[in-house]
């Protein structure tokens, strides 16, 4: 008596990639194209009707940013444009011919699938209809209220309180006073005064004139009352225009700062040694910078523009 074998091809591990996803999945070669696309929708977020499948011999490292040009069909090269995504020229498109139905064409009937191959799922919808599942900037985020956080016993704050660290250290006020005294001592010893010519951090590209000495309470994390030195640089290699986080401390070119004449700033820089508003790019308004006194070197430093003019005349 003869028996007919009903064995089916085993599942194969393939890399599935799209503009929003990249993961290894087990694919059954006997699936129809229609079934494969339905399986790929929850993985990629692309509906079957908008999927165009590109089969390659292996993962393409350029591809996982989700942008590039389309590939080849049936093993022959083409240059169909789809965004700016770079596809491997050896890829083939998994698709049916004219008059064929994706429901009736299986993968193993047309394409030889091998472990380690990649299927890139291209989204053929217009960019305005495509979902960006990577950008989380617009996703609402939960913020624990301060009063509730302070009551928790398993927080970093609670640990610092138990270990008497930071502001919970009984000696903290004394340490803060020593830091403040150190800043004042640096100002005096270095001869730091408004109007003096200086160099910042030993860099000749950062020469300028002192416009402000004092606290900058709009710098996040700054010790209250600590001294910063506001400098107008000769060249626009600074970080602000004399204002930090919406409050003005000096004007480029000099002049008094009037009460309430604050200029809104769009960025927050938490650099503890050198700070300002990186996003303020209006003309020469990158000439401002705030640094700690120990980074300021007072001297008869020539203005950089004058030096360049002398070099041009040599």
The string of pLDDT tens digits covering residues 140-172 is 888 899 999 999 999 999 999 999 998 899 998
Query: Is pLDDT of 176 > 70?
Result: yes
pLDDT in tens, 40-72: 999 999 999 999 999 998 765 444 443 333 333
Query: Is pLDDT of 80 > 50?
Result: no
Query: Is pLDDT of 3 > 90?
Result: no
> Looking at residue 219, what is its pLDDT?
85
> Looking at residue 223, what is its pLDDT?
85
Cα–Cα distance for residue pair 29/6, rounded to 1 Å: 15
- Average pLDDT over all residues of the chain: 80
| Burial profile 5-35: b = 16 or more Cβ within 10 angstroms, e = fewer | eeeeeeebebbbbbbbbbeeeebbbebbbbb
Q: Edge to edge, what strands does the sheet with 51-56 contain? A: 22-27, 12-17, 118-123, 51-56, 92-94
DSSP SS3 for 17: strand
Query: Is pLDDT of 131 > 90?
Result: no
Query: Is pLDDT of 99 > 70?
Result: yes
> Looking at residue 5, what is its pLDDT?
52
> Looking at residue 132, what is its pLDDT?
80
> Could you report how far apart the first and last alpha carbons of the chain are, in Å?
106
Cα–Cα distance for residue pair 184/122, rounded to 1 Å: 62
> Looking at residue 77, what is its pLDDT?
35
CA 245 vs CA 9, 112, 285, 300: distances in Å: 64, 60, 15, 32
* Between 193 and 57, residue with greater pLDDT: 193
* Between 159 and 219, residue with greater pLDDT: 159
221 phi-psi bin (left φ>0, alpha ψ -120 to 50, beta other): left
> Looking at residue 140, what is its pLDDT?
86
- pLDDT, average across residues 9-28: 92
- pLDDT, average across residues 197-211: 93
pLDDT in tens, 246-303: 899 999 988 777 765 555 433 334 344 555 544 444 545 689 999 999 999 999 999 9
> Looking at residue 221, what is its pLDDT?
77
- pLDDT, average across residues 12-34: 94
- pLDDT, average across residues 112-138: 88
> Looking at residue 138, what is its pLDDT?
78
- pLDDT, average across residues 88-113: 89
> Looking at residue 259, what is its pLDDT?
62
Q: Where are the beta strands (DSSP E) in the chain?
A: 12-17, 22-27, 51-56, 92-94, 118-123, 197-200, 203-214, 228-233, 243-244, 247-248, 274-275, 288-291, 296-298
C-beta separation of 107 from 30 below 8 A: yes
> Looking at residue 48, what is its pLDDT?
96
> Looking at residue 257, what is its pLDDT?
78
Cα–Cα distance for residue pair 266/245, rounded to 1 Å: 7
- pLDDT, average across residues 11-25: 93
> Looking at residue 107, what is its pLDDT?
94
Phi/psi at 123 (nearest 5 deg)? Answer: -95, 110
Cα–Cα distance for residue pair 237/205, rounded to 1 Å: 8
Relative to beta strand 274-275, strand 288-291 is: antiparallel
- pLDDT, average across residues 212-239: 90
């Amino acid at each position: 008596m003869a028996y007919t074998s009903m064995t089916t091809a085993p599942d194969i591990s393939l890399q599935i990639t799209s503009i929003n996803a990249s993961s290894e999945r087990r694919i059954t070669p006997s699936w129809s194209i229609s079934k494969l696309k339905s399986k790929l929708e929850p993985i990629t977020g692309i509906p079957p009707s908008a999927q165009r499948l590109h089969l390659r011999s292996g993962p393409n490292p350029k591809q996982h940013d989700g942008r590039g040009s389309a590939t080849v069909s049936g093993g022959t090269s083409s240059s169909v444009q789809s965004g700016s995504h770079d596809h491997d020229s050896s890829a083939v498109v998994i698709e049916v011919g004219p008059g064929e139905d994706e429901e009736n064409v299986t993968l193993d009937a047309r394409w030889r699938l091998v472990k380690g191959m990649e299927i890139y799922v291209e989204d053929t919808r217009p960019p305005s209809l495509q979902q960006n599942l990577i950008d989380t900037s617009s996703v609402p985020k939960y913020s624990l209220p301060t009063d509730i956080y302070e009551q928790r016993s398993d927080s970093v704050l609670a640990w610092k309180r138990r270990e008497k660290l930071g502001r919970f250290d009984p000696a903290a006020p004394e340490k803060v006073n020593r830091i403040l005294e150190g800043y004042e001592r640096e100002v005096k010893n270095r001869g730091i005064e408004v109007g003096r010519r200086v160099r910042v951090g030993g860099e000749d590209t950062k020469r300028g004139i002192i416009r402000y000495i004092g606290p900058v309470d709009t710098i996040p994390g700054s010790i209250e009352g600590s001294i910063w030195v506001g400098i107008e640089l000769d060249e626009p290699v600074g970080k602000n225009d004399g204002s930090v986080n919406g409050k003005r401390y000096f004007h480029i070119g000099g002049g008094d700062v009037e009460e309430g004449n604050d200029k809104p700033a769009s960025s927050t820089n938490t650099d503890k040694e050198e700070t300002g508003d990186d996003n303020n790019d209006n003309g020469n308004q990158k000439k401002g910078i705030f640094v700690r006194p120990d980074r300021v070197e007072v001297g008869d430093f020539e203005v950089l523009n004058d030096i360049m003019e002398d070099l041009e005349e040599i």
